[in-house]
Amino acid sequence: MLDRAELKEIALMNGKGGAYASLYLNVDPVLNKRGDYGIHFRNMIKNTIESLDKAAYKKVKEDIERIEDYVSSSKRLLRKGLVIISSIPNDVWKVYHLNVPVRNEFIIDQTPYTEPLMDVLDNYERYAVLLAEKEDARIFVIHLGEIVEYGEIHTGGIPGKHKQDVWFALSQSAAERHMANTGKGRLGVTGLRTDRYQRHIEFHIRIHLEDAIKGLDSFVERERISRVIIGGSDEAAAAAKAMLPHTIRGKVIGMAKVEMFAGVNEVLATTMPIVEAYGKKQEEETIEALITQALSSGGKAVLGLADVIDALQERSVMKLVMLKDYRAVGCICGACGFLSAQKVEPCPACGGIVEHVDYMADLAGELAVQQGAAVEVVGDSKRLAEYGGIGAFLRF
């Protein structure tokens, strides 16, 4: 999984031993239903080679061939975005299969081209998962459907067996704990000993949880984590959540019952429903904001294919939003690429021949990505369907 430390390391590389070839390829099947990414890739390679002089091409020829071989042989691995950074002289080969589309670019330079990767880290939410138990804690990060374990905290020396109620007792008084454990209103000698032992256990567990939360707090700030999930047993997770500072508590989106020894795939499977539910809520809020802005006077949003295409032609789209199964017909000029939701003949921009197509959603998505706009493909939404199934937030 891509993280800021790795990205910083890549950004600091330089081409003392040779140049870098950086490929960003939009392979999203929703936006490339006809496999157009292959055509775009070959055109980028051709244009890049033609722009290089013989000496420069000689330096990156092997890198270009290695990238071509990988793209043609790795179709089964493709997701939505493919990023490759290659420099044979510098012994660098980085491949990232992303769950978001990227703008098609192929850059040859003395340093790796990393700006789009930074945009992915900044613009797509990352989720931290804290698993907490009596002596151990683990921290994971979920980003774009992938999970990586980042660290483990172990606190030894905590006394042996204790009742599950000790988690709740962390916030109880001595009398309340004694009442809960014995049902008696007075603390006898035996009760005092028991109570002291419980307090001893609680003290060590509290110290352990504080260490785990300090680690989480530092990690969340350093990695710019936007949301947090607390896991473990029901009791441990509740105790950990109660001790969170307000800076993290406001980021918590759910609790997950996960065993401390669970593998990363099990942790992902258990927590993804929480992530997906949160994502669905965000989708609904995005659609409502889109409709509200589009219908308000002076709102910076549009609804419907015709207005979206017009906004794309003006390069004013900040974020394109459309239904997953959205389909539409329209026109494209074979000469200049002009798009229209209406039937036009000839091209109003250049007078060229216009082709009538039934994949306008693909073309709109591709154009948005190429212009640097975000693209959000949402699931079933009756609200968005009522307004044409497609819309866009505008820059201006």
CATH match of 300-394 with 3.30.1330.30: yes
Question: Which residues of the chain register pLDDT less than 50?
Answer: 161-188, 192, 197
Q: Where in the chain is the domain with CATH 3.30.1330.30?
A: 300-394
Q: Where in the chain is the domain with CATH 3.30.960.10?
A: 4-123
Amino acid at position 19, single letter: A
3-state SS class at 53: coil
Interior/surface letters 186-204, b for 16+ CB within 10 angstroms, e for the rest: ebeeebeebbeebeebbeb
Name the superfamily (CATH) of residues 126-277. Answer: eRF1 domain 2 (3.30.420.60)
What's residue 165's pLDDT?
45
Would strands 227-232 and 126-132 be described as parallel, antiparallel, or unpaired? parallel
Radius of gyration in angstroms for the set of CA atoms belonging to the chain, rounded to a whole number: 27
Give the chain's count of helices (H) and strands (E). Answer: 13, 16
Q: Where in the chain is the domain with CATH 3.30.420.60?
A: 126-277
Which residue, among 144, 121, 114, has the nearest Cα to 268 in the 3D structure? 144
Orientation of helix 360-370 relative to helix 305-313, angle to 10°: 30
CATH match of 4-123 with 3.30.830.10: no
How far apart are alpha carbons 215 and 210 in whole angstroms? 9
